[in-house]
Amino acid sequence: MKNELVAEKIFNNIYAAVNGTEISTTERQKLNLRNSSLTYGEINFEAMQAIVSALGETAGKNFYDLGAGTGKAVILAALLANFKKTVGIELLPALYQAAEVARKKLVLQMAQEPRDQTAVNKTTAEVLFIRDNIFWADFSEADVVLVSTTCFDERMMEMLKRRLTMLRPGSLVITVSQSLHSGYYDIIGRFKINLKWGEATVFIHKKIY
Ligand SMILES: C[S@@+](CC[C@H](N)C(=O)[O-])C[C@H]1O[C@@H](n2cnc3c(N)ncnc32)[C@H](O)[C@@H]1O
pLDDT in tens, 43-100: 999 999 999 999 999 999 999 999 999 999 999 999 999 999 999 999 999 999 999 9
Torsion, CA 85, CA 57, CA 135, CA 164, rounded to 10: 140
Q: Which atom of ligand 1 is nearest to the CA of 156?
A: 19
CA of 93 from ligand 1 middle (Å) equals 11
Q: Which residue out of 25, 91, 135, 193 has the highest number of ligand 1 atoms within 8 Å of its CB and is therefore the one to mutate?
A: 91
Where is 204: in which H helix or E strand? strand 198-207
Going from the C-alpha of 44 to that of each of 119, 141, 146, 183, the distances in angstroms are 24, 25, 14, 31
Burial letters 18-55, b for 16+ CB under 10 A, else e: bebeebbeebbeeeeeeeeebebbbbbbebbbebbeeb
Pocket flag, ligand 1, residue 43 (CB < 6 Å): yes
Q: Which atom of ligand 1 is nearest to the CA of 146?
A: 6
Pocket flag, ligand 1, residue 67 (CB < 6 Å): yes
- Contact indicator for 185, 206 with CB cutoff of 8 Å: yes
CA of 57 from ligand 1 middle (Å) equals 26
Q: Where residue 124 falls among pLDDT bands split at 50, 70, 90?
A: confident
Query: What pLDDT does residue 174 have?
Result: 98
Mean pLDDT of 168-179: 98
- Contact indicator for 128, 86 with CB cutoff of 8 Å: yes
Among residues 42, 49, 64, 54, the alpha carbon closest in space to that of 125 is found at 64
Across the beta sheet with 62-66, the strand order is 126-131, 85-90, 62-66, 144-148, 172-176, 198-207, 185-195
Going from the C-alpha of 11 to that of each of 31, 57, 200, the distances in angstroms are 30, 22, 22
Query: What pLDDT does residue 140 have?
Result: 98
Pocket flag, ligand 1, residue 68 (CB < 6 Å): yes
Pocket flag, ligand 1, residue 18 (CB < 6 Å): no
Pocket flag, ligand 1, residue 139 (CB < 6 Å): no
pLDDT at 26 over 90: yes
Query: What pLDDT does residue 122 have?
Result: 60
Give the CATH fold of the 4-207 domain: Rossmann fold (3.40.50)
